Amino acid sequence: MATPVIMPRQGNTVESCILTEWFVKKGDKVKEGDLLFSYETDKAAFEEESKVNGTVLEIFFSEGDDIPVLTNVCVIGEEGEDITPFIPNGGSEQKAEEQVKTQEQVVEETGHSEQKLPEETQSQADSDEVFISPRARNLAEKIGADIRFATPTGPDGRIIERDIRKLQQEGHLVTAGAKEAYLNLDQPLQGSGLGGRVATADLNRPAVSFAASEEKTSAALEYEDVKLSNIRKVIAKTMHESLSQMAQLTLNTSFDATEILNVRKKFKANAEKMGLANITINDILLYAVSRILPMHKDLNAHFLGDSIRYFENVHMGVAVDTERGLMVPTLFNANLKSLNQIAIETKELAKACQKGTINPDNLKGGTFTVTNLGALGIESFTPVINPPQTAILGVNTTEQKFREKDGVIEPYISMSLSLTFDHRAVDGAPAARFLRDLKESLENFTVLLAK
Amino acid sequence: MPKSQFVDPVEVRKKGKITFKDIPVNQYDKTVEEEKENYTTEDFLRIYRDMAIIREFETMMNLIKTTGEYNGVPYNHPGPAHLSIGQEAAAVGQAYLLDIDDFIFGSHRSHGEILAKGLSAIHKLPDEELMKIMKEFRNGLILKIVEKYSAAESVKELAINFLIYGAMAEIFARETGFQAGLGGSMHAFFTPFGIYPNNAIVGGSADIAVGAALYKKVNKKKGIVIANIGDGALGCGPVWEALCMAAMDQYKKLWEGEFKGGLPFILNVFNNHYGMGGQTRGETMGYDMLARVGAGVNPEQMHAERIDGYNPLAVIDAIRRKKKILLEDKDGPVLLDTVTYRYSGHSPSDASSYRTKEEIDAWMAHDPMITFRKQLVDASVAPDKTFDEIIDKARDLITKQLKISIDDSISPRMDLNKDPQAISKLMFSNEKIEKMEDRDCDVLMPKEENPQWKRVQKKERFGLDKDGKPVSKNRVYQLRDGLFEALIDKFYTDPTLIAYGEENRDWGGAFAVYRGLTESLPYHRLFNSPISEGAIVGSAVGYALCGGRVVVELMYADFLGRAGDEVFNQLAKWQAMSAGQLKMPVVLRISVGSKYGAQHSQDWTSLVAHIPGLKCVFPATPYDAKGLLNSALSGTDPVIFFESQRIYDIGELFHKEGVPEGYYEIPIGEPDIKKEGKDITILTIGATLYRALEAAKILEEKYGLSAEIIDARSIVPFNYEKVIESVKKTGRILLTSDACERGSHLKDMAQTISELAFDYLDAPPVVVGSRNWITPAHELEEYFFPQPEWMIDAIHEKILPLPGHVPATNFTKQEMLRINKLGI
């Protein structure tokens, strides 16, 4: 009996994966454990091994195909066996039913009484065409909304009136004068006009850069067009949404890092003896943040438009730099974990990210994020919030500073922190108070540990 | 089921037998010599002249069709020509004694009858009256043409030219024809001479003519009515229904006073032995001799008789005797089996493959044009050359009229470029006539004393009490009360108004709408009909086109098929086919059922809406029911009045002032906003209004959407303005009715809305109808008829995904494709 190989479902919410590479071809003999193909979700990459011995009888998809999970990808069996029962889409009705069922199951399992509206419906999302109702199109024209920013919530991925209304609220608008030229641009751009409208003045910027690049093209091919990876696309979308939808601003402060540097030295010295992990400055920061955050619930929250969801525990997003790009795995319940646990688990998460084996379910659910550019010598920056979180803490490099103490000028090691917060959810003073408390706890870290 | 008649078991179980009287067959045997005492020379010659004119007219038609030329005049006539060459003696014989108060209705083969009846009328009418008729008809349009081109020497000659020209121009589809060219060969008529519509549907005239006879009887009009049909038509169900309705016992047994007695009706069969190519005697029928059928209809055997249609004097003799039976003895109806033969085929394309040349030759040897002429010559009525002169004169007449009737400058066709609305404005007469005649109404008591009327006056005219709670069914003014009030009011206003159908009297209608009318109305204004849906509607057509107003009922929409031809071909078309000369003040009440399965639960409004010429309404509230029925009963157009059995007992929930006690009209064609809203429009037809209201409640409470509900009320005509206005506001529309979804008129409305409001739509208009199945048992109906939940599901799936909504029914595109692919 031939065995179909399905596209595995990586995480509950993954609907499809991109097949990145075939390691076998039709007719190849494979043994159990041989690699068949690699694939990736928008968040991670995986490899699929053969679970049986046999011949690859048929391959249903090519590299680059976006394949719904649980769909047959190839069939392995004895030569001459009938593979027709395994051809995908043969029973499309059945599959549709299955999908409906799974949706229902998800609803049941998670116990949510509310079914989330699809962010984007699949059936038409693959196509570049924009499906929009006449009414929505007219409204967009009238108010000068850029429909490329609209998230379709109508049937079959159609943009409907309410999606344009949302754009209007979010400010993806263009002035009438600038509209025609703007809509012909290759890329959307941020507006400087009233309510964030793209005005004619904004149009000149890309025009200049286009002209420059044209000159270069005529000289020689000095660039390379690389298609965005899924991860890049997700980052682009999330970051852009973050900046375009929130009222972000950044507070900077610095603290005396003497204590944490000393503590860290002690940990390092006793690591082997005490069976401790390699506890880094970053781990110490994560620990401190996880203990201070519960006292500043505004910052351990999700801003949901018309409501704010406050979390009891801290699910810490930890920014990790990988070859594919920025990834932010979540350290769940960080406030309940010991410093040592934090150190161990953070390293595991980071490693999984770098290898691309991170479970997609671990890439979400964060309530606050810490990002550290200190190792790269950054002294201050404005980190970008991961929506729908309300804040993100940037950790900068250490530097020697001087201060006057009892009439004596003395040097000390200072470290600075950059907190970006969403002014829609939090005001400046509470954010500043959080930084003040965090600074105090870091400067007196041993006291914090004792708590 | 009148209680006055006792069904006695002793009587009906008694041993006995049925005996029949002899049915006369060709008993007339007088010679011309013997008839000289009854006819002058002039009479004899006029009979021959009329036959000659018809023969020449039909010969002209035959030559035009087969050779493209007549007497040196070329012409191409692409339209129909069902000719009666050979049947002239029968037509002339029948018409000889008829005057303009006697009406004839005909078939597709009726050129001869029209001309014969017209020539007879012209002979009888005084000159002044003839001139008056010609001047008044279509404002003298035809008269002016024949005056200018015919060089007639007398009014009668002018009138003959008028008759020939009017018929010919009509056949050639000229705007100057009798019906402006809209009737054509098979439908020409001229009511001022008592010539009523001819019908292209075989047997179609039978029940219509019964209605005309009913009109004469109920309204005490002079004259008799003859339905001329062919022998092939005896196989048509509606013809049998017409016989049943014409021969109802109640005319003689239950109708009272001067209304007692049989219908003044003759069913005359021009028996040419062929229904197209089927030989009725010996092949397609079993009656052996057609006159035998009368014996099966009533004890009088319909005074049936076979007469020799090849002898005009035999036919005249029969008509004389039958007129006496109808008018003096009041013992109608009558069946005549008039034997005749056509030499030409069914139509010019008929190669007569079904009969031998010998047979045709044998009949030609009996041709009255030869044999009657010989008899007249032999009896010294006139010398032979006189008849040649008559024929020459006829040829001259036909040739002249042909020339002018095909001359485009004299006889143009309707100019639809110049007046694109020329036909559309004839589809409805759109008149408002309170009463069709101004005289007292025959009633049995003052309206105010009618017990049901008194009961209704005591009811609560708004369905909710002060606290907004529903008034109990026993106290609330129901939808059926609205219908009752409109009806009883009209019965006391319009003396011509009659109502009939199944169980209309005593029972009060199957759904108690007529309860109490029996007390107010004598039999001739409200009666039970046989279970003959075809004849019920067909006779109403005849009653109305003669000038009366009538309300008939089909009880269930499912029975519409039984009256298919009468509703779709007759009721719908005669106003326009007559170029506006006929009015059709008929209200046809049709009830839409439920609970009774596949043949008693269908909403067939869509079938009616598809046929041009019918108005169609479907009120869903007492206020609308009364107002719309008042409008329908005051108009002059046929209105198919749909009612839903689900809501006969519903109270008025929308018109806050309650249903007015007095008279008011709701214009046909105007939808009504029953509930205002801003997020989605729901357009309903009929009883789904109340399910849409439930859906609106769910939308409001669960999803925070406010629905605007529009009750279509009317289906044809329909003013879309309100709906478009609403869609512009909401951007979304769902349409729902109990009709099966495929081919539902709602689809047509959805399409129209798409075109009219495309730029305002946020989603395509979505139709929620019943399944394309049989209607299952009542216990399963929730799976068949639209439910509020289906409406929510359809909105979620096709218009506006609703957060958190999990659909219970399948409105996906895949499902649409699947059910259409399977035709379910």
State the average pLDDT over residues B294-308: 98
CA distances from B448 to A237, B441, B451, B520, B658 (A): 79, 15, 8, 10, 21
CB contact under 8 A, A115 and B798: no
B443 phi and psi angles, rounded to 5 deg = -135, 165
Both tokens assigned to B190: 């001229």
CB contact under 8 A, B762 and A136: yes
Say yes or no: B793 contacts chain A, CB-CB below 8 A.
no
Say yes or no: B814 contacts chain A, CB-CB below 8 A.
yes
Q: Is the peptide bond before B333 cis (omega within 30 degrees of 0)?
A: yes
Q: Judging by DSSP bridges, how do beta strands B766-770 and B733-740 pair with one another?
A: parallel
**To which residue do tokens 């485009």 refer?**
B408
User: Which residues of A fall below an 8 Å CB-CB distance to B?
Assistant: 92-93, 96, 104, 107, 113-118, 133-136, 138, 153-156, 158, 160-162
Could you report how far apart the first and last alpha carbons of chain B are, in Å? 42
* Stretch(es) of chain A classified as CATH 3.30.559.10: 233-450
Q: Å from A170 to nearest chain B CA? A: 20
What's the pLDDT at A286? Answer: 94
On whether the CB atoms of residues B25 and B291 are closer than 8 A, the answer is: yes
State the average pLDDT over residues A436-443: 93
The pLDDT tens digits of the residues spanning B406-428 come to 999 999 999 999 999 999 999 99
Chain B residues touching residue A118 (CB < 8 angstroms):
801
My answer on whether B401 and B497 are in the same domain is no
The pLDDT tens digits of the residues spanning B719-743 come to 999 999 999 999 999 999 999 999 9
Name the superfamily (CATH) of residues A233-450: Chloramphenicol acetyltransferase-like domain (3.30.559.10)
| Longest pairwise C-alpha distance within chain A | 92
Task: Decide if pLDDT at B323 tops 50.
Answer: yes
What's the pLDDT at A94? Answer: 42
Q: Å from B728 to nearest chain A CA? A: 9
CB contact under 8 A, B814 and A117: no
The DSSP 8-state label assigned to residue B617 in this structure reads E
Task: Decide if pLDDT at A174 tops 80.
Answer: no
* Catalytic entry in B187, B600, B655, B745: B600
Q: Å from A313 to nearest chain B CA? A: 27
* Domain boundaries, position B457: 447-647
State the average pLDDT over residues A248-277: 90
Lowest-confidence range among A66-80, A93-107, B38-52, B300-314? A93-107
The domain tally of chain B equals: 3
CB contact under 8 A, B805 and A115: yes
Sign of the CA dihedral running A57, A61, A64, A67: negative
Sign of the CA dihedral running B349, B355, B356, B360: negative
Closest residue in A to B798 (Cα) is A155
The DSSP 8-state label assigned to residue B644 in this structure reads E
CB contact under 8 A, A138 and B799: no
Chain A residues touching residue B762 (CB < 8 angstroms):
133-136, 154, 160-161
My answer on whether B617 and B741 are in the same domain is no
My answer on whether B242 and B284 are in the same domain is yes
CB contact under 8 A, B763 and A138: no
What's the pLDDT at A97? Answer: 43
On whether the CB atoms of residues B676 and B730 are closer than 8 A, the answer is: no
My answer on whether B409 and B452 are in the same domain is no
Among A281-285, A325-329, B584-588, top mean pLDDT goes to: B584-588
Both tokens assigned to B678: 């801003």
CB contact under 8 A, A153 and B813: no
Chain B residues touching residue A138 (CB < 8 angstroms):
759-760
Angle at which helices A281-292 and A339-355 pack, to 10 degrees? 120
Task: Decide if pLDDT at B1 tops 70.
Answer: no
What's the pLDDT at A188? Answer: 58
My answer on whether B641 and B682 are in the same domain is no
Helices (H), B492-573: 517-520, 533-545, 564-565
Closest residue in B to A158 (Cα) is B763
d(CA A311, CA A330): 14
Residues sharing a CB contact under 8 Å with residue B697, sequence separation 6 or more, in sequence order: none
Q: Å from B775 to nearest chain A CA? A: 27
pLDDT above 90 covers a percentage of chain A that reads 36
CATH number of the domain at A122-219, please?
A: 4.10.320.10
The DSSP 8-state label assigned to residue B650 in this structure reads P
In 3D space, the residue among B626, B630, B563 whose CA is nearest the CA of residue B590 turns out to be B563
Is residue B99 situated within a structural domain? yes
Residues sharing a CB contact under 8 Å with residue B40, sequence separation 6 or more, in sequence order: none
Say yes or no: B702 contacts chain A, CB-CB below 8 A.
no
CA distances from B561 to A57, B604, B608 (A): 60, 10, 11
Whether B111 is a known active-site residue: answer no
d(CA B10, CA B545): 45
Task: Decide if pLDDT at B636 tops 50.
Answer: yes
The pLDDT tens digits of the residues spanning B199-228 come to 999 999 999 999 999 999 999 999 999 999
> Cα-Cα-Cα-Cα dihedral of A146, A148, A150, A154, to 10°?
120
pLDDT above 70 covers a percentage of chain A that reads 79
Chain B residues touching residue A113 (CB < 8 angstroms):
804
Q: What is the number of other CB atoms lying within 10 angstroms of the CB of residue B207?
A: 35
Closest residue in A to B818 (Cα) is A93
The pLDDT tens digits of the residues spanning B110-135 come to 999 999 999 999 999 999 999 999 99
Lowest-confidence range among A436-440, B346-350, B738-742? B346-350
CA distances from B136 to B102, B130, B131, B178, B339 (A): 20, 10, 8, 13, 38
CA distances from B454 to B197, B484, B805 (A): 43, 12, 51
Residue to substitute from A89, A100, A133, A304, interface B, most B β-carbons within 10 A: A133
How many residues does this entry show for chain B?
A: 824
SS3 string, B185-251, reads: CCCCCEHHHCEEEECCCCCHHHHHHHHHHHHHHHCCCCCCEEEEEEHHHHHCHHHHHHHHHHCCCHH
State the average pLDDT over residues B762-778: 97
In 3D space, the residue among B681, B592, B582, B678 whose CA is nearest the CA of residue B637 turns out to be B582
CB contact under 8 A, B803 and A115: yes
Say yes or no: B815 contacts chain A, CB-CB below 8 A.
no
Chain B residues touching residue A115 (CB < 8 angstroms):
803-806
My answer on whether B758 and B683 are in the same domain is yes
- For chain B, the 3-state helix, strand and coil shares in percent, each to the nearest 5, are 45, 15, 45
How many residues does this entry show for chain A?
A: 451
* Stretch(es) of chain A classified as CATH 2.40.50.100: 3-94
| Strand, helix or coil for residue B277 | coil
Instruction: Choose among B762, B797, B805: nearest Cβ to A160.
Output: B762
My answer on whether B713 and B817 are in the same domain is yes
Q: Å from B609 to nearest chain A CA? A: 30
Residues sharing a CB contact under 8 Å with residue A235, sequence separation 6 or more, in sequence order: A325, A326
Residues sharing a CB contact under 8 Å with residue B461, sequence separation 6 or more, in sequence order: B477, B652, B658, B659, B660, B661
Among A47-56, A251-260, B730-739, top mean pLDDT goes to: B730-739
* CATH code of the domain covering residue B606: 3.40.50.970
**To which residue do tokens 């005697």 refer?**
B281
Please name the helix (run of DSSP H) or strand (run of DSSP E) that holds residue B403, with its range, or none. helix B384-405
My answer on whether B634 and B712 are in the same domain is no
Q: Does domain A3-94 have CATH number 2.40.50.100?
A: yes
Residues sharing a CB contact under 8 Å with residue B531, sequence separation 6 or more, in sequence order: B502
Q: What is the number of other CB atoms lying within 10 angstroms of the CB of residue A24?
A: 18
SS3 string, chain A, reads: CCEEEECCCCCCCCCEEEEEEECCCCCCEECCCCEEEEEECCCCEEEEECCCCEEEEEECCCCCCEEECCCEEEEEECCCCCCHHHCCCCCHHHHHHHHHHHHHHHHHHHCCCCCCCCCCCHHHHCCCCCCECHHHHHHHHHHCECHHHCCCCCHHHCECHHHHHHHHHHCCEECHHHHHHHHCCCCCCCCCCHHHCECHHHHHHHHHHHHHHHHHHHHCCCCCCCCCCHHHHHHHHHHHHHHHHCCEEEEEEEEECHHHHHHHHHHHHHHHHHCCCCCCHHHHHHHHHHHHHHHCHHHCEEECCCCEEECCCCCEEECEECCCCEECCEECCHHHCCHHHHHHHHHHHHHHHHHCCCCHHHHCCCCEEEEECHHHCCCCCCCCCCCCECEEEEEEEEEEEEEEECCEEEEEEEEEEEEEEECCCCCHHHHHHHHHHHHHHHHCHHHHHHC
Chain A residues touching residue B799 (CB < 8 angstroms):
155
State the average pLDDT over residues B224-250: 97
Summary mean pLDDT of chain B = 96
Say yes or no: B222 contacts chain A, CB-CB below 8 A.
no
CB contact under 8 A, B806 and A107: yes
What's the pLDDT at A176? Answer: 60
CB contact under 8 A, B806 and A93: no
| Strand, helix or coil for residue B768 | strand
Chain B residues touching residue A116 (CB < 8 angstroms):
803
Task: Decide if pLDDT at A195 tops 60.
Answer: no
On whether the CB atoms of residues B710 and B695 are closer than 8 A, the answer is: no
**To which residue do tokens 């201070």 refer?**
A292
pLDDT above 90 covers a percentage of chain B that reads 96
d(CA B312, CA B88): 8
What ipTM score was computed for the predicted complex, to two decimals?
0.76
Residue to substitute from B724, B762, B809, interface A, most A β-carbons within 10 A: B762
State the average pLDDT over residues B136-160: 96
One-letter amino acid for residue B231 of the chain: D
CB contact under 8 A, A138 and B801: no
* Stretch(es) of chain A classified as CATH 4.10.320.10: 122-219
My answer on whether B81 and B152 are in the same domain is yes
pLDDT above 70 covers a percentage of chain B that reads 100
My answer on whether B689 and B794 are in the same domain is yes
Is residue B438 situated within a structural domain? no
Task: Decide if pLDDT at B788 tops 70.
Answer: yes
d(CA A276, CA A341): 9
Instruction: Choose among B760, B763, B804: nearest Cβ to A160.
Output: B763
The pLDDT tens digits of the residues spanning B251-296 come to 999 999 999 999 999 999 999 999 988 999 999 999 999 999 999 9
Q: Å from B764 to nearest chain A CA? A: 9
* CATH code of the domain covering residue B723: 3.40.50.920
Is residue B425 situated within a structural domain? no
The pLDDT tens digits of the residues spanning A208-242 come to 434 344 444 444 456 777 777 777 777 888 888 88
Instruction: Choose among B758, B760, B763: nearest Cβ to A154.
Output: B763
Q: Judging by DSSP bridges, how do beta strands B733-740 and B680-684 pair with one another?
A: parallel
My answer on whether B385 and B330 are in the same domain is yes
Between residues 729 and 768 of chain B, which touch chain A (CB distance below 8 Å)? 731, 758-763
Angle at which helices B312-327 and B88-96 pack, to 10 degrees? 40
Chain A residues touching residue B812 (CB < 8 angstroms):
96
Closest residue in A to B731 (Cα) is A135
CB contact under 8 A, B762 and A113: no
CB contact under 8 A, A133 and B760: no
My answer on whether B258 and B297 are in the same domain is yes
CA distances from A193 to A175, A176, A199, B749 (A): 8, 11, 5, 45
Chain center to CA of B515? 27
